[in-house]
Structure 1
Amino acid sequence: MRSFEGNDGHVILQLQPGDKALESITETIDDHEIDTGVVVSGIGSLNKLHVHYVVPYEEFPEFAEDNDDVDEYLHEEGAWEVGSLQGAIADGEPHLHITAFEAESGRMIAGHLEPDSVVHALMEIVIRPIEGPELARRPEEMGIPMLQSR
């Protein structure tokens, strides 16, 4: 893992084979003391892709009553080409979405990037710190964490 900081504050992160994507991004956020920001670009490849996505509420009618988890988790292996990685950083914590394609199976997956997603060949990620707002995510309606001022 390597990171480079521009004069304008942007941080460019280069991940290498075997690096864990989300964990490396979180470490870079800590190292560069980024409290609030955005991941504006992320491309590369993964050989382990771990994501979660939200399933339709109608499949979980009890959600509104019991606030049950409605996330589906996928743990995939293969040669996943990352077409997009982006998201927001609040209180130093990233919330990232990823879109990836696996040519052998012809599958495309989109979801929330989860820990233990492992870089295959490389990843390049650009993070833009935002000065000013101090944000956090706190549960609101139906227990969903939403951005709020701290």
Structure 2
Amino acid sequence: MRTYTTSQLGRIVLIHLGKGERVLESVEAEVSRLGIKNGILLSAIGSLRKACLHFITNTDDTAVNRFITIERPIELSSAQGLIVDGVPHFHLTISEPDGMYAGHMEPCCEVQYLAELAILELKGISLTRRQDEYGISYIDTV
């Protein structure tokens, strides 16, 4: 187990995305523009016309992922995650006419009407991601 703490909070950033904008790519650009190194995605809701995600398909030491792309009306019910060293790592829950999905958000998720995200910036902590012996990334201090 690893635990990291800070009592220093920075800005709360609200992002509104409109029709055709890409969620992860837009967040990455805004995080870079604002100079956010570490943060928490507190909330994300909206509608999508394209969702790209992956999820694990096994329990062996080395993960095998299934990547899927859905292109039809999609509700973004929630997303949460961390920004570590300027890099977002988000998971999402979505629903569409044929079912519900949850998994790791990949680039190419595209907004249909709108998406609204809230990010809390964390200050006073220097974090990065490293890979363990199984190729899984974990949070560590710089």
TM-score by length of 2: 0.90
Segments of 4+ in structure 1 off by > 3 A? none
1:80 alignment partner, one of 61, 70, 74: 74
Q: AA paired with 2:106? A: E
Report the secondary structure of 2:124's partner residue. coil
Structure 2: distance between partners of 1:52 and 1:117: 12
Structure 2: distance between partners of 1:57 and 1:86: 23
Report the secondary structure of 2:11's partner residue. coil
Matches within 5 A, 1:2-81: 9-58=11-60, 64=61, 67=62, 70-81=64-75
1:93 is aligned to: 87
Mark the runs of 5 or more structure 1 residues left unpaired by the alignment.
Answer: 1-7, 59-63
2:130 is aligned to: 138
Structure 2: distance between partners of 1:149 and 1:108: 35
Q: AA paired with 1:125? A: L
Residue deviations 1:88-130 (CA, integer Å, cap 9, x gap): 010100000000011x22x100011111110011000001100
Percent of aligned pairs with the same residue? 35
Report the secondary structure of 2:28's partner residue. helix
Structure 2: distance between partners of 1:22 and 1:140: 25
CA drift at 1:31 = 1.2
Higher Cα Rg: structure 1 or 2? 1
1:116 alignment partner, one of 89, 108, 111: 108
Aligned residue pairs total 133
Structure 2: distance between partners of 1:54 and 1:133: 30
TM-score by length of 1: 0.85
2:3 is aligned to: none
Matched, 1:148 2:105: no
Decide which structure has greater helix share. 1
